Each structure stands twice: as C-alpha cells, then as structure tokens.
Homo-oligomer: A and B are copies of this chain.
Amino acid sequence: MAFDPASLKYDANGLIPCIAQDHENGDVLMMAWMNAASVAQTLATGRVTYWSRSRAAFWVKGDTSGHVQHLVELRVDCDRDCLLVRVRQHGPACHTNRRSCFYTVVRDGAEVIDMEPMTGAES
C-alpha cells in the first residue's frame, strides 16, 4: 500500500508525535512533533524534519546546530497516531549537548542526571 502522510491521525493542531531512536544502539534520543508536510519532507529529503511548535515553522534537525538526523527508517504505530524514526544521529540529539534528551532518571524517588554532555570530538 502506498504511504500517504495524510492517512496518519493528527491531533487538533495537525501534529503527530515522533520518537527518534538511534538506529545503531537503539537509544531513544528525543521526541518531537511533525505535521503532514514535515513527514513528507522527511521522506523526500532523508533529513528528519519536525514542526517546531514554539516557532510555528519547519525544524530541519541540525540546520542550526549541525546535529543532523539522517533518516534510516520511518515506522507508523498501530493507531497511526505516533511515528518512530530510526536515525543516524550526528553528534548530540539534545540541545544540552547530551546524546539523548532522556538524561534524567528517577531512582529511589530522586532525579539523577546520568549522562554527560558530549565533547566536540565525538560525533
């Protein structure tokens, strides 16, 4: 069946959540939002492109930071209301320079940061 971005289920704002996962080690890197146009652009360009809710504009991941996400695979969930992109992540996915946005773990009722920011040498 041909894939049509319009066939996905978007919320009242026309958005669908998209989980980004490192295709090499399976780490969950971040979650952001797409609209139908950014889904189409992601597939057309191979560059993961979200919709920035704060800027109300396309967010081509890495255009500003250099921390590009190359699309390896796009997956749709059973309810068609969530996407999973498996990506080749260049550098950190998080704006804090950590590899993943999920660097805070809840352990014994306390929050613990267990991931350090990356240095310039890593990619």
Q: From the candidates B77, B94, B107, name the one contacting A30 in the complex (CB within 8 A).
A: B77
Contact across chains for A78 and B96 when beta carbons are under 8 A apart: yes
Asked if A121 CB lies within 8 Å of chain B CBs, one says: no
A108 to B, closest residue via Cβ: B3
Asked if A27 CB lies within 8 Å of chain B CBs, one says: yes
In the bound assembly, the distance between CA atoms of A69 and B116 in angstroms comes to: 29
Give the residues in chain B near A57, CB-CB below 8 Å. Answer: none
Give the residues in chain B near A79, CB-CB below 8 Å. Answer: 101
Asked if A17 CB lies within 8 Å of chain B CBs, one says: yes
Starting from the known contacts A19-B19, A25-B26, A26-B27, 4 additional A-B residue pairs (CB-CB under 8 Å) come to A17-B17, A73-B106, A77-B102, A78-B104
Q: List 15 A-B contacts (CB under 8 A).
A: A1-B110, A2-B110, A2-B111, A3-B106, A17-B17, A21-B26, A26-B27, A43-B109, A73-B106, A73-B107, A74-B106, A76-B102, A78-B95, A78-B98, A84-B102
